[in-house]
Structure formats: C-alpha cells, structure tokens
Amino acid sequence: MFLFRWLRRIIKTILWLVVIVILIPIAGLTYGFLTTPSLDTASLPGIAEGAPPKALADKVRAEIPGYQRPEESTFLTYPEWAIVYAAREYAGFVDRSQPSGFPYFAYIGRFWQDYATVIRASSTYKFNFENHQMLVIIGTSHTIEHALQWAYENTAGRITEAIAGKRTAADIYQAKVAADYAAFLDQVPWYQFPYAEKRAELFAVQPAPGDSTVRSGERKLAFGLADTIKQAYADLIKQALAATSDPAFPDIHVWAKGPVGEAARNEADTLLERDLGADGTIFVTKRYQVFTEMIPRLIDKGVSFVEIGGNDEIMVTVLSPDPVTTPDGARALFSYPLPAKPEMRRTGLTIAVRKLHLVLPALMKAGAKLEHVYDY
C-alpha cells in the first residue's frame, strides 16, 4: 500500500511538471501579445527599387545551391539571439554586481514579447514549423532556467552573499565564465560550450585572502551542479541533432554592387562566387556575428547590396542611448531599454536590403551602434 501511494505521488508530480512545461509557452505568448503592439506588415516603400532583372535572379537561384534562404527567418532568428543578448547582459551585470540583483524575470518577459513581435512581423509568410518549434523549446528552457536561478540567487545565494560581504574568487571566476559563454554564443550553439571543463576549473579556484569559505563552497556546489546538468542536457541535444537534423548552413550568399572584389579581399572565409558584370558580384561568407561585423566595412568601401540570402528585406538591431529616428528604407519593429542596463536601448528594424548601405550609416551618424544583422 505504501509503495502504491509513493508511485501515485511520483506520477502525479510528473504530470504536474508536464502541465507546467506545456503552459509556459502558452502563458508566455499570451503575455507577449498582450504587451506588444500590432505591426505594419505591408512591404517597405521603395523595396523594388534597384531590383535585379528577374531572368538573371531566377538563374542565380537555380544554379547556386543554398543561395535562397527563407525570408521569414530573418525575424524568427531574433528571439534566439535575444537569449544570447540576455547572456551577454548577465555577464556585464555580474562583472560589477552580485547575480542576485539581475532582473531575471524581466528577461523572461522580454523573450516572449520578442517572440510575439516576430510572429506578427512574419505573419505574411508561410508558417515555418521548424523555426517555431525551436523557439518554443528554447523559450521554455530559458524561462525555467531564469526562474530557477532567480529563486536560488534570492534565497541561498543572498544568504551566502551577506555572509561573505564581498565578491569572492569563485564569484569573479563565474563572472569570467559568463563573459566567455556570451562571447562563445556569437558564433557557436550553446550546447557546444565546455561546461564540464568550466566546472573543473571552478573547483580548482583557490580562495583569495579574506574570502568567505561559506560563499566559496556554495558557489562551487551550486554552479558545479548547474554545469553538470547543462553538460548532460547539451550532450543529449547534440546526440538528438546528430540523429534527426540536417547540419545548419554556416554560409550566406550575398549579391552586391560596387568594388566588391577589392572590398572583400581581406575578409576571412569570403570567396567571390560569380561575376555578373554590370549587375554586380555574388560572394559567399560566414554567417552570424562575422557577417554583421563585415557589413559596415564593406559599406565604407563603397559596396551596396542587391540581395542577401536571396532576399530583399532583412532585420537589424541597433543599440543607442536615445531613441533613434527611422531612416527611409526602414521600418521600426520595437524599441526598449535593456532590463539590466536601462540607460541603453535596443531598437529592431526591418530594412530594405538595397537601402542597407544608406540606412546603416544614417543610424550610426545618429549615435546608434550596429548590434546584429539577422541573416536568415
């Protein structure tokens, strides 16, 4: 009888956990839609300006494998990067403050607001099941992780923080790991991060003079356990992806005009792919942050863009201390102060690819800093 009651309680607990996990994205998206405005989804004015000849564009798409990428992914990629930014902003916060003060729930809410916004922005496109499935999974994981970390840091974490009275060597090491992790995510998926290696290094950290042994031990125990769980989860994800998924395309094809050959000559992992004469040049390069950082350099050298990933619209985010005015050829999607650094704002815009060489310099001149170009 005792065994039966015990099993029933375990099953009941598991079922409640399943229900909670299912309810997280439902509640999250409900919050996101209720707290974000509707968007103008009409085509950007002048987007057809400078379009390549249709016959040539069709020929390029037919002859270059991987040239065309799904345009809706420029929007649906953003919430994944928002988690990268949360990691980056967490790293900046714990570099100067204790983790108990980080606004964990603000970042949970921000993810679901961002997701609701890009659902609206991509509503005119065919539903991309694969992208949405990924966003629901990572959004749920992000929510659970941040909620648990908030609960821990504001109970046991605050107690040992008060006992220590200052940051210990273990705190400083974990702040460094947070910075390493944020930088890692610029080009590599989170599940490739060496959690086990970082755990071993944490355990090897020696207390500095005056460090609280209670705080040092608690940090090692808490983050060591977290690294163990994350490493196991990451290993499962890697195995599942290896068995069920095609590898992600690491490259992006760019159709550009101007002195493309000269401008791209010293860019790493960049190859000229096709010379189209007066219609421009197609080159292939690495995606993600590498591509983002390359674009301003190409624009400075006189390059303009015809298509990126086979598309004529692309999403961009910029950071600025003040609200930015939206230049011609762009449309604002959102603008909000960073939860952990409210003196700085993040603004998301949809930009006509063929206006990119004009819009980005105008934004930079107004005091904005390019954060990322979402390359599908």
Q: What is the pLDDT of residue 246?
A: 56
221 and 290, same domain (yes or no)? no
Whether 355 is covered by a domain: the verdict is yes
Is residue 261 domain-shared with residue 362, that is, in the same domain?
yes
Is pLDDT of 307 > 70? yes
Residues 217 and 108 in one domain: yes
How does DSSP assign 248-277, residue by residue?
PP-EEEEEEESSHHHHHTTSTT-EEEEE-G
CA distances from 335 to 20, 109, 338 (A): 31, 15, 10
Query: Mean pLDDT, to the nearest integer, of 275-279?
Result: 96
pLDDT at residue 167 above 60? yes
The pLDDT value given to residue 11: 85
Q: Which class for 38: exposed (0-12), middle (13-18), buried (19 or more C-beta within 10 A)?
A: exposed
* Integer Cα distance of 300 and 338 in angstroms: 29
Find the farthest-apart pair of alpha carbons in the chain and give their distance in angstroms, rounded: 84
Count the domains in the chain: 2
Do 233 and 297 belong together in one domain?
Answer: no
Closest CA to 371 of 352, 351, 347: 347
74-129 confidence digits (pLDDT tens): 999 999 999 999 999 999 999 999 999 999 999 999 999 999 999 999 999 999 99
Percent of the chain with pLDDT over 70: 98
Answer whether residue 10 is part of any domain.
Answer: no
pLDDT tens digits for 321-368?
999 999 999 999 999 999 999 999 999 999 999 999 999 999 999 999
234 and 272 belong to one structural domain? no
User: What does the pLDDT read at residue 10?
Assistant: 82
DSSP string, 308-339: ETTBSEEEEEEEESS--PPPTTEEEEEEEEET
Q: Can you give the pLDDT at residue 248?
A: 62
325 shares a domain with 237 = no
Same domain for 232 and 101: yes
Among residues 244, 277, 292, which one ends one of the domains? 244
Inter-residue contact 323 to 334 (CB < 8 Å): no
Which of 52-61, 141-150, 179-188, 247-256 bottoms out in mean pLDDT, i.e. has the lowest?
247-256
Give Cβ neighbours of residue 314 (< 8 Å, ≥ 6 apart).
Answer: 74, 308, 350, 351, 353, 356, 373, 374, 375, 376
Q: Range with the lowest mean pLDDT among 5-19, 20-34, 168-182, 260-274?
A: 5-19
Structural domain includes residue 274: yes
Q: How confident is the model at residue 301 (pLDDT cuts 50, 70, 90)?
A: very high
Same domain, 220 and 270: no
Type of residue at 241? L
Tell me if 183 is assigned to some domain. Answer: yes
Domain of 129 in residue numbering reads as 76-244
Question: Domain end: 209, 244, 279, which one?
Answer: 244
Overall average pLDDT of the 147-174 stretch: 97
- Nearest CA to 79 out of 9, 140, 123 is that of 140
SS3 state of residue 238: helix
84 and 231 part of one domain: yes
For residue 176, give every residue at least 6 positions away whose Cβ sits within 8 Å of its Cβ, in sequence order, or none: none
For residue 1, tell me if it sits in a domain.
no
Looking at residue 9, its pLDDT comes to 82
pLDDT single digits (tens) 247-271:
567 899 999 999 999 999 989 999 9
According to DSSP, the residues that pair with 286 across neighbouring strands are 251
Is 291 a member of any domain? yes
Q: First and final CA of the chain: distance in angstroms?
A: 57
Task: Please indicate, yes or no, whether residues 133 and 236 belong to a single structural domain of this protein.
Answer: yes
Which tens digits make up the pLDDT trace of 30-85? 999 999 999 988 888 888 889 999 999 999 999 999 999 999 999 999 999 999 99
59 and 116: one domain?
Answer: no
Q: Tell whether the model's pLDDT for residue 1 goes beyond 70.
A: no
Quick check: is 178 in a domain? yes
Residue pair 250/287 in contact (Cβ under 8 Å)? The answer is yes
Q: What value does the mean pLDDT of the chain take? A: 94
Residue with tokens 């950071």: 319
Are residues 268 and 226 part of one domain?
no
Domain boundary residue, one of 201, 227, 244:
244
pLDDT of residue 46: 80
Are 280 and 306 within 8 A, CB to CB?
yes
Helices then strands, counting H and E runs in the chain, come out as: 13, 8
Query: Domain for residue 23, yes or no?
Result: no
The three-state secondary structure class of 343 is: strand
